[in-house]
């Protein structure tokens, strides 16, 4: 397992694969809204939130397993050791997934009648849908374990190819049972369950196919859990905090606003969360490589990869987020062809987009600590983050609604990026925080000022969709150029590569 795998190919594969899955989901959402109605679409948003809450049960196992897989590639542990770790975590994940699914199924009537504000949908259909989505959540929980192994083994080209195929079946081919059985929310979730089971079986087969000495019998080992629990719990704490701070507002809002309003809120969140895909795509590629560099003592290469990776993410995040901030209502209208939905969702989306842009930039500090194997500051920072933000989210979501929860999200993550990352960089990259921060701020200035200035000259309206879409593409391209020109490491690397080719 020592063969070098191209980091560039993995990054490109992650961008293509995760970008496609995010894009196809975004493209299909208006169709789901038109087929099913806003209340049923609100149930899909509730299902997405349930999947996120499942991460609370992770206790850091998946990222730890991905790191152990990377150590296997680096030659630090054997195939049998990795398989023993996997078998142990399989027992844990299957048990927790099954118990959680059963608990949600038994609570489905309460959720349908007492938690969700249902106006038009039949309560029995809502209860059945919650039961089916509980089963899907349990199965996806187990399959995520194998995603961690494949990612840690740097087999992301295969993983993303498989993800593109699976995403097409999951998002697009659902229209086939809609045509055969009729478009309904229960048909939607039953189809998702069938695809989910098939995906899981294929992932299991591929994961075990990548191990050497596969005939050796491995069993559950409590000693494995004792060996990895400290690092796992450090990751777990951060994961729990992340789930809480990203999902508490959504959970509270699902209680205090109507299900159809929650559907419009979910539209805004689907778009805003697309920014996470861009960061996760490169993060999934660099985390194993940064871990390998750390294991091999290549600190200079690790730091260089860290700085460059942030700018690669921002070269995409800045133009897209600036477009969503200044032209959000236009983009939502072109996407949904629903002026009411565009108006209601755009203001919410703007603030969550700004907050997620800050998260995309700051997430790489976690990757740096992860690779170093030292998550103490990560734990401390998340403790402060949660202690301030979660009570604020509960109060704002229950009293002021989704627009103000979005504003709170942006302000909190802006402060984290400016202040707390300085503490992390002082520990791991002493003396480099201000240069890192200014280099990234310049990219935001370049991209955002370009779009803001062009908004005075390009009046985008709802009359001629093709023309307006072309205008938006042009504005986005100009923002991309300005963002690139204000970069530091990325611009230098591209110019060096260009001179070498020339």
H-only helix segments in 210-221? none
Question: What is the rounded distance in angstroms from the CA atom of residue 365 to the CA atom of residue 103?
Answer: 36
Question: What is the rounded distance in angstroms from the CA atom of residue 226 to the CA atom of residue 389?
Answer: 32
Question: What is the rounded distance in angstroms from the CA atom of residue 218 to the CA atom of residue 251?
Answer: 41
Q: Are the C-beta atoms of 232 and 59 separated by less than 8 Å?
A: yes
Query: Would you state the structure tokens that stand for residue 112, as one six-digit string?
Result: 């349908």
Tell me how far CA of residue 214 lies from CA of 79, 148, 205, in angstroms: 8, 19, 12
pLDDT band at 261 (very low <50, low <70, confident <90, very high): confident
Which one has a higher pLDDT value, 284 or 376?
Answer: 376
Q: Are the C-beta atoms of 163 and 195 separated by less than 8 Å?
A: no
Q: Are the C-beta atoms of 313 and 278 separated by less than 8 Å?
A: yes
The pTM of the full predicted model, rounded to 2 decimals, is 0.68
Tell me how far CA of residue 488 lies from CA of 30, 304, 308, 414, 440, in angstroms: 39, 12, 9, 21, 9
Length of the chain in terms of residues written = 502
Q: In this model, does residue 187 exceed pLDDT 80?
A: yes
Query: Would you state the structure tokens that stand for residue 198, as one six-digit string?
Result: 């098939």
Q: Any idea what the Cα angle at residue 136 is, between residues 332 and 262, rounded to 5°?
A: 35
Q: In this model, does residue 238 exceed pLDDT 90?
A: no
The per-residue pLDDT of the chain, averaged, comes to: 80
Helices 421-428, 376-399: axis angle to 10 degrees equals 170
The DSSP annotation for 316-353 comes to HHHHHHHHHHHSHHHHHHHHH--HHHHHHHHHHHHHHH
Query: Would you state the structure tokens that stand for residue 105, as one six-digit string?
Result: 């199924």
Q: What average pLDDT does this structure show over 325-349? A: 82
Q: What average pLDDT does this structure show over 300-326? A: 87
pLDDT band at 221 (very low <50, low <70, confident <90, very high): low
Question: What is the rounded distance in angstroms from the CA atom of residue 127 to the CA atom of residue 134?
Answer: 11
Q: Any idea what the Cα angle at residue 419 is, between residues 414 and 420, rounded to 5°?
A: 100
| The pLDDT value given to residue 445 | 93
Alpha-carbon Rg for the chain, nearest whole angstrom, is 23
Least confident of 130-144, 223-237, 246-260, 456-470: 223-237
Q: Any idea what the Cα angle at residue 318 is, between residues 474 and 496, rounded to 5°?
A: 90
Q: Are the C-beta atoms of 483 and 434 separated by less than 8 Å?
A: no
Q: Is 233 exposed, middle or buried (0-12, 13-18, 19+ CB in 10 A)?
A: middle
| The pLDDT value given to residue 74 | 64
Q: Are the C-beta atoms of 141 and 97 separated by less than 8 Å?
A: yes
Phi, psi angle pair for 65, to nearest 5°: -65, -40
Q: How does pLDDT run across 67-105, given as a tens digit for each residue?
A: 777 767 766 666 677 777 777 788 878 888 888 889 989
Least confident of 73-77, 194-198, 313-317, 484-488: 73-77
pLDDT band at 1 (very low <50, low <70, confident <90, very high): very low
Phi, psi angle pair for 463, to nearest 5°: -80, -50
Q: How does pLDDT run across 170-180, given as a tens digit for each residue?
A: 888 989 999 89
Distance of alpha carbon 203 from its chain centroid, rounded? 20
Least confident of 323-337, 396-410, 454-468, 487-501: 454-468
Distance of alpha carbon 118 from its chain centroid, rounded? 28
């Amino acid at each position: 397992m020592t063969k070098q795998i191209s980091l560039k190919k993995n990054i490109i594969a992650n961008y293509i694969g995760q970008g496609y899955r995010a894009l196809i989901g975004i493209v299909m959402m208006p169709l789901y809204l038109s087929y099913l109605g806003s209340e049923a679409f609100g149930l899909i948003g509730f299902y997405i939130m349930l999947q996120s809450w499942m991460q609370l049960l992770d206790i850091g196992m998946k990222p730890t397993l991905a790191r152990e897989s990377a150590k296997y590639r680096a030659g630090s542990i054997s195939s049998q050791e990795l398989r023993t770790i996997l078998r142990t975590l399989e027992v844990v994940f299957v048990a927790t997934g099954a118990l959680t699914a059963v608990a949600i199924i038994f609570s489905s009537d309460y959720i349908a009648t007492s938690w969700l504000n249902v106006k038009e949908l039949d309560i029995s259909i809502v209860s059945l849908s919650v039961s089916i989505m509980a089963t899907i959540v349990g199965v996806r929980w187990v399959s995520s374990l194998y995603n961690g192994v494949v990612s840690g083994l740097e087999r992301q080209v295969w993983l993303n190819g498989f993800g593109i195929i699976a995403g097409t079946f999951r998002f697009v081919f659902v229209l086939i049972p809609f045509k055969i059985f009729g478009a309904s929310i229960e048909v939607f979730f039953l189809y998702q369950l069938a695809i989910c089971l098939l995906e899981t079986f294929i992932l299991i087969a591929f994961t075990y196919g990548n191990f050497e000495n596969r005939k050796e019998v491995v069993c559950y080992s409590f000693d494995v859990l004792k060996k990895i629990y400290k690092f796992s719990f450090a990751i777990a704490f951060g994961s729990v905090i992340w789930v809480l701070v990203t999902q508490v507002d959504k959970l509270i809002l699902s209680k205090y606003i109507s299900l159809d309003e929650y559907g419009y809120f979910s539209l805004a969140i689907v778009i805003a969360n697309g920014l996470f895909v861009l960061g996760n795509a490169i993060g999934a590629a660099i985390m194993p490589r940064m871990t390998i560099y750390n294991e091999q003592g290549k600190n200079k290469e690790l730091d260089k990869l860290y700085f460059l990776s942030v700018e690669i993410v921002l070269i995409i995040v800045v133009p897209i987020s600036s477009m969503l901030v200044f032209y959000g209502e236009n983009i939502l209208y072109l996407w949904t062809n629903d002026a009411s939905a565009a108006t209601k969702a755009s203001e919410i989306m703007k603030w969550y987009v700004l907050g997620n842009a800050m998260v995309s930039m700051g997430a790489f500090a976690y990757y740096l600590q992860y690779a170093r194997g030292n998550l103490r500051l990560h734990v401390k920072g998340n403790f402060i983050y949660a202690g301030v933000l979660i009570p604020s989210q509960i109060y704002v979501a229950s009293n002021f609604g989704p627009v103000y929860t979005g504003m709170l999200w942006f302000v909190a993550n802006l402060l984290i990026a400016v202040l707390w990352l300085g503490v992390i960089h002082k520990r791991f990259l002493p003396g480099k925080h201000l240069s890192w921060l200014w280099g990234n701020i310049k990219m935001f200035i370049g991209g955002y000022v370009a779009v803001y200035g062009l908004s005075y000259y390009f009046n985008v309206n709802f009359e001629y969709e093709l023309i307006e879409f072309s205008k938006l593409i042009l504005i986005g391209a100009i923002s991309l150029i300005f963002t690139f020109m204000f970069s530091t490491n990325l611009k230098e690397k591209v110019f060096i590569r260009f001179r070498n080719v020339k």
